[in-house]
């Protein structure tokens, strides 16, 4: 009996150490991923790169094809050092995709302030949600299927709005997206803590997408409600 208890405690301790190591590596790689994102956004702004300049729908389809190509490559290489390079390549690409929104925001006289405000807001949301996921005893794993369904609805609404061009629908999409991806932080961080996700590259990709979508939609809302023209 005593040996069984010792084995149980030993196994639990090893599991906790492993999950903490994955979480620590995830946070380090997440911080590193911001560098190519910022670089990609800067290059995109300077070169005025946009997949959506011609046909927004075709541009959106090309974006999804490239993004899912990266997802496949990351999944195949996530257990090797190459996986880190592929992930950073993806974050560079996402930075380039963000440049159109950044460039539009910089067109406001207070554009730089809006970008910093969106960054600060995203960081605050992450800090709060990650802290809740870390200290809460509640199991958030059941949220996964509902959050995924919410993301599918957002994607469908975004595609529809390419043709409809309804400002009210865009506002609704942005608000819902911020709520859904904020909740996803709870889910994704707790997956690492509870051992549901044991690969730090996959964990980084999931949390990066959460933060990216929160930032992009928050910046869009700030531009709509707080953008000032000269």
Enumerate the domain spans of the chain.
Answer: 2-226
Confidence of residue 228 (pLDDT cuts 50, 70, 90): confident
Residue pLDDT, tens place only, 141-181: 889 999 999 999 999 999 999 899 899 999 999 999 999 99
Q: What is the mean pLDDT of the chain?
A: 91
Residue pLDDT, tens place only, 40-61: 999 999 998 887 777 888 999 9
| Per-residue three-class SS string for 130-182 | HHHHHHCCCCCHHHHHHHHHHHHHHHHHHHHHHHHCCHHHHHHHHHHHHHHHH
23-32 per-residue burial string, b: 16 or more CB within 10 A, e: under 16: bebbbebbee
**H-helix or E-strand spanning residue 19:** helix 2-47
Question: What is the distance of C-alpha 15 from the center of its chain?
Answer: 26
Residue pLDDT, tens place only, 95-127: 999 999 999 999 999 999 999 999 999 999 999
């Amino acid at each position: 009996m005593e040996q069984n208890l010792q084995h149980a405690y030993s196994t639990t301790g090893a599991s906790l150490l492993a999950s903490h190591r994955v979480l620590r590596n995830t946070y380090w790689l997440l911080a590193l991923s911001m560098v190519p994102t910022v670089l990609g956004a800067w290059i995109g702004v300077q070169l005025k790169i946009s997949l959506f300049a011609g046909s927004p729908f075709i541009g959106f389809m090309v974006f999804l094809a490239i993004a899912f190509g990266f997802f496949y490559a990351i999944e195949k290489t996530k257990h090797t050092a190459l996986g880190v390079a592929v992930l950073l390549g993806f974050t560079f690409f996402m930075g380039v995709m963000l440049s159109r929104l950044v460039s539009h925001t910089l067109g406001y006289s207070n554009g730089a302030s809006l970008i910093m405000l969106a960054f600060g807001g995203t960081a605050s949301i992450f800090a709060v949600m990650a802290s809740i996921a870390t200290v809460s005893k509640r199991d958030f794993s059941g949220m996964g299927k509902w959050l995924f369904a919410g993301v599918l609805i957002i994607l469908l609404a975004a595609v529809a709005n390419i043709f409809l061009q309804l400002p009210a629908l865009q506002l609704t999409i942005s608000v819902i997206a911020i709520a859904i991806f904020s909740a996803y932080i709870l889910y994704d961080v707790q997956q690492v803590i509870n051992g549901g996700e044991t690969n730090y590259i996959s964990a980084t990709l999931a949390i990066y997408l959460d933060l990216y979508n929160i930032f992009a939609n928050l910046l869009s809302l700030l531009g709509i409600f707080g953008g000032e023209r000269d």
